[in-house]
Amino acid sequence: MNSSGEFERTAGGAVLMDGIRLRGEIIASLRATIEAAGTPPVCLATVLVGSDRPSQLYVASKRKLAGEAGMVSRHVALDDDASQAQVEDAVAALVADSGVHGILCQLPLPAGLDPEPVLAMIPPEKDVDGLTERSMGRLVRGLPGHVGCTPLGVMRLMERYGVPTSGKRATVIGRSTLTGLPQVLLLGRKGVDATVTLAHSRTPAADMIEICRQSDIIVACAGQARMITAAHVKPGAAVLDVGVSRTEAGIVGDVDFEAVEAIAGWITPMPRGTGPMTIACLLENTLSAARMQGAFPA
């Protein structure tokens, strides 16, 4: 918001859905909640295998922001040549530790390691990334659990910036279990009540334009650079860009921001949009995990 209390807008007039700003608000709220409860320890444990530089930076950011939220950060670092058994033993120790409320194993693992058995070890109440099949099953069944951080971040942005969802048409482009599929479930659940269409890389181009043009909300998470153009967007629609592609021009999203921001009613920038919300929702899930385990007041 600007000094007059209005949402910031793009040059074309769309409401700019600022993920950095909202992340800061969520972290401040989490810290205030923890301090109001007497600062009981709320612990997020991270596991990093290998020396991949982007993964190291990402985990470091998670740990730093956990500290800003008033949480305890525990970290386990394993070498590039760590065996499958060593990784699983490290995760098993965190699972067994009642002082650890959330566990995040940074992916991808180095070549030769299988992430599935590692993720399967994490119980739903500690799966703050919302990645395991049990967490996804809980989302499908509407049971208590943790939702994937990226799709949850999209929902938080829409809530914060006043995007109406009830009775609206939404299109999710991309069908990954990390983002696309849970996003469909979140948009269609009771209380949100959007009518949701799932599109993907095999949707014919002409159909994609027609489907999107009928949509009040577009969530683009296909990983195809600038695939959403002005031709896809209904005037006044909310457009949320989750995709990330590396091009000669640098990192870009799935949305052609310059073309779309003059048509959309709401839009996320790239960067500073949905990306920062992933960590914010990871920390939100960690506090929820502590509550689920009886370590924090309900």
Q: Residues with catalytic annotation?
A: 62, 106, 129
- Closest by CA to 131, choosing from 76, 196, 85, 181, is 181
**In whole angstroms, what is the distance from residue 134 CA to residue 128 CA?**
12
198 exposure class (CB count in 10 Å sphere: 0-12, 13-18, 19+): middle
Residue 118 CA from chain centroid, whole number = 21
70 phi-psi bin (left φ>0, alpha ψ -120 to 50, beta other): left
Contact 77, 108 (CB under 8 A): no
Cα angle, residue 33 at apex, residues 28 and 34 outer, rounded to 5°: 100
239-271 as b/e, with b when 16 or more CB fall inside 10 Å? bbbbbbbeeeeeebbbbbbebbbebbbbbbbbe
> E strands within the chain?
15-16, 43-49, 72-78, 102-105, 169-173, 195-199, 217-220, 238-241, 245-247, 250-252, 266-267
